[in-house]
Structure 1
């Protein structure tokens, strides 16, 4: 599969470009970025070509990976899908339901494959755990904590304008939902939401199967307190999400495997654009509750 990359920021440099250039099933044709100098430097580092125009890159590939802010990703994903290109996308798919639906609709209309990279879903031990717990069933409640220190450390993502604006709800909220939804079922209602220190948010979710879950999300945890975890309690007892030992490059390579499989078989992946849209809808509902406390939607 001939694939191109849209984006040249820290995530593109640290994860996407190495994963694409090192994948045996992909021909990393080239990349495009909003900063031509950065695109040229990254392309040279990985022995590929920097394109001046998005459409020129789309004309030369079968698929694109996108490592750009959500609003920019959504616009370019629609453009790529309607050009018949398969999509390897990042979370969140978008930060508005309208944008997310436009991507999902374009994917369906064009009949292309799509995979949204929710990191945990493509790490071997966590992915196996999620599948196992989904098959067990009988869960009573779940608790997820995603405590990042992006804003309290020297993280290269701290200066990201969209993260500064949207905070943990939209950055790490997708990770928590990607674990809880396949196990506890879709979210029927965001029952409550409250703000904590800085960008911290707390959510209470009601799931279609009857279970409830709580989420604590932040990008402002003290570095010594950072970490992520999920606990499930139910008829089978208590179980915890295992740590993911696979790095981002390895996990992203698995996401590329999933895209190759979906494109080859025509079978949608569980983390496709439609799932990305559903996550966007839930986060938008949570945001609405945060803005109007006491009005769960």
Structure 2
């Protein structure tokens, strides 16, 4: 497996897991910063490639740890080169780019997995599977109040695309991944803006259930936190100890994602979190973003008329 990227995800999660995984060998690294790629490759005794297509040529599969709109066109090229894809979420920030990527995967006949962390973290994946079996559920709620970019926040995983796209695109995929795992496909979305980058979603699911989600990266630090609950005939269910590191450890989750791609690439069934699911998530988020922008435009205060002198 080749690695695309040299940022925090690549250095802290992707590279160490790929270097030690029983189902993978780290074939090499490419990054937009050649010096950073060389330093990371040296740490794992592998090759830093200046030409990304050369990395594709020596790789059976490629893992991506770059911003979504950098990822999508590179992943198209990797698929065309015959590489299986381990993609980051969201796969793109426009439906058009996500559709081109999905079409490239289909045309090349390669396998794909999108790294929705909580769908691969073993404790959470097992808990979600149990809830899907224990239904039917009436409704659900998944709220992400993060403070990455709040005035008193930590700035964790600070990056221009997160600052620009906000909580809808960064933590929204997490909410959609856990809600759809239990309630099924989203058939419609209604979205409204809140303070700062906050977005409120109302979702309808194929099985008839509904869910809501509040998403932000700019909540005050003291107000940050996560909520996940399902309500149905058997009562209310939330993950025990929800929010603790054991539910979303990125290293364990990425290790599982690598194994899932290796299984799919060797002839196993496609994983539910493949590029087609990644495309659907992008379509939902883009629809919500359009609604939020339209509401913001209609809610702008009217300009005061200019007084005649």
1:251 and 1:227 map into 2 onto residues whose CA distance is 21
1:263 and 1:8 map into 2 onto residues whose CA distance is 25
Number of equivalences: 290
Instruction: Find the residue that maps to 1:279 and give its secondary structure.
Output: helix
Q: Is there any run of 5+ residues in structure 2 with no aligned partner, and where? A: 297-309
2:239 and 2:91 map into 1 onto residues whose CA distance is 24
1:227 to partner: Cα distance: 2.5
* Contact 2:86–2:112 (CA under 8 A) maintained in structure 1: yes
1:267 and 1:110 map into 2 onto residues whose CA distance is 17
1:173 to partner: Cα distance: 0.2
Aligned to 2:292: 290
TM-score by length of 1: 0.94
Aligned to 1:179: 178
1:156 to partner: Cα distance: 4.4
Instruction: Find the residue that maps to 2:208 and give its secondary structure.
Output: coil
2:225 and 2:41 map into 1 onto residues whose CA distance is 33
Q: Deviations over 1:64-111 (max 9, x none)?
A: 001111011000111101111000110001100011111111111111
Aligned Cα RMSD in Å?
A: 1.4
What pairs with 1:159-178 in structure 2 (closer than 5 Å)? 160-178=159-177
Aligned to 1:188: 187
Larger Rg: 2
The range that moved more, 126-135 or 81-90, is 126-135
1:14 and 1:222 map into 2 onto residues whose CA distance is 27
2:221 and 2:127 map into 1 onto residues whose CA distance is 27
TM-score by length of 2: 0.90
1:46 to partner: Cα distance: 1.7
Aligned to 2:254: 252
Q: Which runs of 4+ in 1 moved over 4 A?
A: none
1:291 and 1:220 map into 2 onto residues whose CA distance is 18
